[in-house]
Structure 1
Amino acid sequence: MFVHPQFDPIAIHLGQFGVHWYGLMYLIGFLAFLGLGKWQINHRTWHGWTLPMLDDALFFGALGVILGGRLGYVLFYQSSYFMHHPAEILAVWQGGMSFHGGFLGVLVAMALFARKYQLKWLSIMDFVAPLVPIGLGAGRMGNFINGELWGRVTNAEFGMVFPKVDNLLRHPSQLYEFGLEGIVLFLILWIYSAKPRETGAISALFLIGYGSFRFLVEYTREPDGFLGLLSMGFSMGQWLSLPMIVLGVWMWIQAQNKKFS
Structure 2
Amino acid sequence: MAKLGFIGIGNMGEAILRGILKKGLLPAHNIYIFDLNKEKIQALQQELGVLTAQSNSSMLAACDYALLAVKPNVCAEVLNECSIALKGKALISIVTGWTRPKIESIVPDCRILRVMPNTPCMVGEGMVALDLDHSLTDEEFRFALELFNSTGTALPVPSYLMDAVVGVSGSGPAYVYLFIEALADGGVRAGLPRKMAYALAAQTVLGAAKMVQETGAHPGALKDAVCSPAGTTIEAVAALEHGGLRAAVLDAVEVCVRRAQELADHGQ
TM-score normalised by structure 1 residue count: 0.27
Structure with the higher helix share, 1 or 2: 1
Structure with the higher strand share, 1 or 2: 2
Larger Rg: 2
